[in-house]
Amino acid sequence: MEKRLKRILIIVIAILMIPLIAMQLTNEVNWSLFDFIVAGTLLFITVSLIELVLWKVRSKPSRIILSITILAGLLLIWVELAVGIFGTPFAGS
């Protein structure tokens, strides 16, 4: 279990390095500490849920469907937070 947690944290940190590096190269990316905390939390929860699906679900088609559903949920939340596509108060709109 400890190895899985380390793997999850490494994946999340690697993904969060993309905007961190982009902030050094361009002014187009401007994330605050809060943005990194929210993104890190979303990514950690997503990767943890996918890891749980891979660990608990035996059927390969079910694993794929559940993983795609989890990723779609992440994508919808991420888009809503980024541009407020649905106009909810969740995005600050």
- In this prediction, residue 92 carries a pLDDT of 63
pTM metric for this prediction: 0.81
Number of domains in the chain: 1
**Domain span including residue 73:** 2-91
Q: How many CB atoms lie within 10 A of CB 67?
A: 17
8 Å CB contact between 41 and 33:
no
Distance CA 93, CA 86 (A): 9
CA distance 42 to 24: 23
pLDDT per residue as tens digits for the range 34-85: 999 999 999 999 999 999 999 999 999 999 999 999 999 999 998 888 887 7
Residue 80 pLDDT = 87
Find out whether 86 and 78 touch, Cβ atoms under 8 Å: no
